[in-house]
Amino acid sequence: MLVYKFGGASVKDADSIRSLLPIIEKQKSEKLVFVISAMGKMTNAFEILLELYRKDDSDKQNQLNQIKSFHFNIIGELFENDHSVHEEINHCFDQLEAKLLQSAKESYDFSYDQTVGYGELLSSLILSEFINNCGTKNCRFDASEFLITNDKYRDAGVDWTRTKEKISVKLAEAFVNCNLVITQGFIGGTIEGLRTTIGREGSDYSAAIFAHCLNASELTVWKDVPGILNADPKLFANAKILKHISYHETIELAFYGASVIHPRTLQPLKAKQIPLYIRSYADPKIASLIDENSKSDGEIPSFIIKENQILFTIASRDFTFIDAEKLTQILKLFSIYHFHIRLIQNSALNFSLITDENPLQLEEILKQLQTDYIVKYNRNLSLLTVRHLLNDSVSKLFSDTEVLLEMHSRLTQQFVLHSGSFNDKMLTLNTIV
């Protein structure tokens, strides 16, 4: 049993979809599960569409038409005009429109999960029909029927007992009729049948859940990059591929913002010692292997830059300590409003944290916090995290730059700066990798 996850770049257009056929052909004797993301940048497009519908913005129909055109142009290149996939795609969009029209009456998180996941449903439908059309029989399933979650919309928790039962028994039965099963990443469902999502960029995690429940021999995440790199090659000319890296170090890199893998992906794999390969579909021979082996490339210095960060500084109005009880209340608010925390620092009277941008809910969390606290915040920041560089050469780079916040631990250095601070540092950074 092999589980393959294909991200948006892997299915971004007709040519990309055609390029998956050799991968299928090479493994045609194996049992395969394909976990598919939305095409290209469609998740962003669906998020914009939802916001326009909730505001009843006049541009909503134009946005919907652009999304429709994107998908119909792809199927126009892959199928004949009379193929049944055209009717099936139309049916999906009819369902989507009905849910969008309801969205203004529902909470944002709930309506998000009922609509944005259509990106994955459409991409998996198109890929499944194309593979069938090319002579390889496959079975397609809605992930919400198998990946069972609670009802914390936009960040649903997995009900492992029910999920294992559904996948290991019912999904496994599908392999009696075909060697290839296609499903979606990112989406799940409650026991009542309501669609949920497991967090932005959660398709990697979905694939790991399927691999775990099916006792897969390996999971491969197919990307448009040749594995996990120790730095962004756009900023670091001599970035290296980490060819072999441990579960532990990969989780650390993902937590700090390495975009190549979702942070929660590793736990289900580690539990059953399932190796993970990050492989380029452009050159499948190059890959990063992630497993339990501690003798790996994990100690090579890694540089992670996260843009679009917010620095919040929170202080008590009555000059009292930010104690454990208050910290718990504050952190719960950031969880409720889906702000992903990257860094935390506190003193007696102040509590600072760095989070990813969440412009749709920034006003709401500020309103809640400002009831009891004085809140200051800076937007459009960059967070640089350095792992395994055991000297202060990075600190010296910023002697002429305002560092808003800095933290050091035994293996990690972090710097919060204004966006653009790295532009004139690029060549210098290149020399220290």
Confidence grade of residue 176 (pLDDT, cut at 50, 70, 90): confident
Query: What's the CA angle centered on 283, arms 129 and 292, to 5 degrees?
Result: 95
Is the pLDDT score of 383 beyond 90? Answer: yes
Residue-wise pLDDT for 157-173, tens only, equals: 999 999 999 998 888 78
Confidence grade of residue 330 (pLDDT, cut at 50, 70, 90): very high
pLDDT the model gives residue 139: 94
- Closest Cα partner for 74 from 118, 116, 125, 136? 125
Coil/strand/helix, residue 109:
helix
Residue-wise pLDDT for 238-293, tens only, equals: 888 999 999 989 988 888 888 778 888 999 999 999 999 999 887 888 899 999 87
Identity of the amino acid at 72: F
Coil/strand/helix, residue 372:
coil
Which H or E element spans position 182? strand 180-184
Q: Tell which wins on pLDDT, 389 or 343.
A: 343
User: How large is the average pLDDT for residues 2-13?
Assistant: 94
Is the pLDDT score of 60 beyond 80? Answer: yes
Tokens of 150: 């609670």
| 189 bridge partner residues | 148, 195
pLDDT the model gives residue 183: 97
Which H or E element spans position 197? strand 195-197
| 301 bridge partner residues | none
User: How large is the average pLDDT for residues 349-373?
Assistant: 92
Per-residue DSSP letter, 170: I
Residue-wise pLDDT for 92-106, tens only, equals: 999 999 999 999 899
Phi, psi of 257 (to 5 degrees): 120, 5
Coil/strand/helix, residue 290:
strand
Tokens of 141: 């399933």
* Residue 114: Cβ within 10 Å count: 22
Pairing of strands 180-184, 32-36: parallel
Comparing 67-71, 76-80, 249-253, the range with the smallest average pLDDT is: 249-253
Tokens of 184: 């979606």
In the chain the domains, ranked by start, together with CATH numbers, are 2-224 (3.40.1160.10), 302-430 (3.30.2130.10)
pLDDT the model gives residue 13: 96
User: How large is the average pLDDT for residues 332-351?
Assistant: 90
Cβ-contact 395, 372 below 8 angstroms:
no
pLDDT the model gives residue 433: 54
Comparing 131-140, 184-193, 283-292, the range with the smallest average pLDDT is: 283-292
Residue-wise pLDDT for 26-40, tens only, equals: 888 889 999 999 999
Comparing 177-191, 198-212, 414-428, the range with the smallest average pLDDT is: 414-428
pLDDT the model gives residue 199: 87
Cβ-contact 254, 301 below 8 angstroms:
no
- Determine the Cα–Cα distance for residues 165 and 76; give it in Å rounded to an integer: 39
Q: Which residues contact 83 (CB under 8 A, 6 or more apart)?
A: 75, 129, 133
| Percentage of the chain lying above the pLDDT 70 cut | 96
Confidence grade of residue 4 (pLDDT, cut at 50, 70, 90): very high
Cβ-contact 31, 1 below 8 angstroms:
yes
Phi, psi of 26 (to 5 degrees): -65, -30
